[in-house]
Homo-oligomer: A and B are copies of this chain.
């Protein structure tokens, strides 16, 4: 999985019928220190992530291992909202601090 920040949304009315009701978030990939990487992904969101939150994104067939998405043509999904990232026992991100 990669770490990403929620930056926005993508809306479409004309799409594969199986994608009706799917929320698409625009994610910016970040490195483990939170530096933005020049890489984004549009991912299906089932966990209810909001703008600026850090999330884990799964890509490939993993994105369909989500109840209801088994047969949807999605190749990326938000699978978790991150609480903390620790590197060598040092905290580099804490959702609590972020939103204090």
* Chain A residues at the B interface, C-beta cutoff of 8 Å: 1-3, 7-16, 18-19, 24, 26, 28, 31-32, 40-43, 46-48, 51, 56, 58-66, 71-77, 79-90, 92
Closest to A42 in B: B1
Task: Report which of B41, B59, B65 forms a contact with A72, defined as CB distance below 8 A.
Answer: B65
* A48 proximity list for chain B (CB < 8 A): 14
Shortest CB-to-CB span from A75 to chain B, Å, is 4
Jot down 20 A-B pairs with beta carbons below 8 A, ordered by A: A1-B42, A1-B74, A8-B88, A9-B84, A11-B84, A11-B86, A12-B56, A12-B81, A13-B83, A14-B80, A15-B47, A15-B79, A24-B56, A26-B86, A32-B40, A60-B61, A60-B62, A61-B62, A65-B72, A73-B77
